[in-house]
Structure 1
């Protein structure tokens, strides 16, 4: 079935790349079913026959707001991101076209992250005033979470990119998380204004000049501040941000392995483990990437969310819910309005 062209903006479904990811259709379809039971309309994009067969495993799915859009091709996880060009039948390209043509509110993919970024950028283009889009992700922190960007879209950056990402993430947190005046930190090797690389020093000057004009700039922050929740937002280049993200994910897995080993080291430890099992499960949920579902590619003129290739059904469901909230909150027009109102980033001293 195809999406209805006359659907109103408020009722637009989310286009899910149901063929993408390490495990293909099963977790995508299950996550879509869970989201649909929560009231989110979903377009399942992929091989029609395979998706119908997978959807048939869920009792009552025929009555849910789910539709299947055929896409005969998929960009594999081992292919190059540029392979997305010219493959009109690839599931991620079908998803982004559905958004571009007004048949879907957002595109969500747990598949090839590079291909998703390339497809979104080629199909949507950039918001006026944004030089490069960024991957915005959430990391667990004391008291809640810290929003980090860029998490991997741009290894080599300019200072102006970091300022633009600070603006984008500020609006994002206002719309989706209800943060009235989120604070922005610039990742560096010291809190002092004079610490950091040439890039950091230039970005610091630009951010300081814009403090109070759409950006609540805290100053430099260090790596530990991400987990302490010192600021709501931390901006950095995509190379550093991706290293931080993968390091945190790896450390969380190792830490829980240590805890599991310690609690199984003897009879008393096992008894103690039974007493703290509920608390540990809550901690595990906070550290689980599936809690946040997917990261938004922010800065393009369309809503696109990128998840982990190993995502499970819970991650898919949460990604769809987050995408739906972004659309209902009119995130994209508010991002465009913020850049239209605030104009260009001022040049650093000496330019």
Structure 2
């Protein structure tokens, strides 16, 4: 049985979206159980509509719901111990739950997750990883907002984290990894990115295949399975892609309504347009995974509908089922072992040269 703790108060719609989403997941994943945290007067009426879900769930009343516009520091100070967000995260720490899902305030969720779960021993900063629809299929992109700016070691950490996620979600034994850059040539880009590329090439990790630098248009093409960048550029890329998808969808709706012939044409091509709509629907790839923590936390988009929140919960389910934390720890151990071996070899070579 996989246990998922849920912050039912997060997002723009709260329990009105969260509870129906959980019913959807419970139907599709019979081996799942939920621990739902929230305000009783709002959650209980929704939960009563789904008796089957109530049987597979435990509800815990909380006194506080973190506001979507609340500053992370204030949320951590006032919401700690009492809020539905904190308690859902704390359930992971106490091993009451295997993963936490919330559609709440991103900054507050990250601050509480870092404070409660802490980062893994060799990770400086966590990353938010998103699943990105591509022409080929899907890719993992990280970081999309947790870390503004990153040095070469942090970018390498992100590559290891992203590769572990790709192996867990996509079932790829050795996913391809690329560093987002202003060009594919080795001489281009910031020093941090170039140094990270050199480190990944030299490490030659069995958990991934490093393909070098990729550019912005490579994300949508699906050139690699994992795209690595720091949070500032990653978040801009994510929001730009979401906005472009909505823009194109708006253009199509406008064009289909323009003339009678266009409306008739839409009737004949409706199945094709529906397929395009599904491909461009950002909610179907909903869920940002906080990687690098001692526990699994998934952030749903605040405006996600029921199907979108269900996708985030199922992503958390997959992370648990495929033991992503064990994969990350094994990959990090291998990387640091390779680094120690390389350092020892280099030191021995220097001693030989000095003696010579």
TM-score by length of 2: 0.90
Q: Which residue of 2 aligns with 1:4?
A: none
Closer/same/farther in 2, CA of residues 303 and 62 from structure 1, 3 Å limit: closer
Structure 2 gaps of 5+ residues are 344-356
Deviation at 1:345, TM superposition (A): 8.3
Secondary structure of 2:100's aligned partner:
strand
Contact 2:174/2:206 (8 A) holds in 1: no
Tell me which residue corresponds to 2:13.
23
Distance 1:242 1:330, change over 3 A: same
1:199 maps to 192
Which of 82, 107, 111 is 1:114 aligned to?
107
Match of 1:288 in 2: 281
Q: Is the 8 A contact 1:36 1:66 kept in 2?
A: no
* Structure 1 gaps, min length 5: 1-10
Aligned mate of 2:214, from 221, 225, 239? 221
Higher helix share: 2
Between the aligned partners of 1:43 and 1:285, the Cα distance in structure 2 is: 30
Distance 2:300 2:24 in 1: 17
Residue 75 of structure 1 deviates from its aligned partner by: 1.3
Query: Structure 1 residue 337: deviation in Å?
Result: 2.0
Radius of gyration: which is bigger? 2
- Distance (whole Å) between structure 2 residues aligned to residue 16 and residue 73 of structure 1: 14
- Using the size of structure 1 for normalisation, the TM-score is 0.92
Q: Which residue of 1 aligns with 2:58?
A: 67
Q: For 2:325, which of 327, 332, 339 is the aligned residue?
A: 332
1:85 aligns with 2:76: yes
Query: What CA RMSD, in Å, does the superposition of the two structures yield over aligned residues?
Result: 1.9
Cα deviation digits, residues 106-143 of structure 1 (max 9, x gap):
01000101111111111111112111110000111111
Q: Superposed, which structure 2 residues align to 1:1-351 within 5 Å? A: 11-38=1-28, 39=30, 40-58=32-50, 60-63=52-55, 65-86=56-77, 87-343=80-336, 346=339
Bigger Cα displacement from structure 2, 294-303 vs 50-59: 50-59
Kept in 2, the 8 Å contact 1:20–1:112? The answer is yes
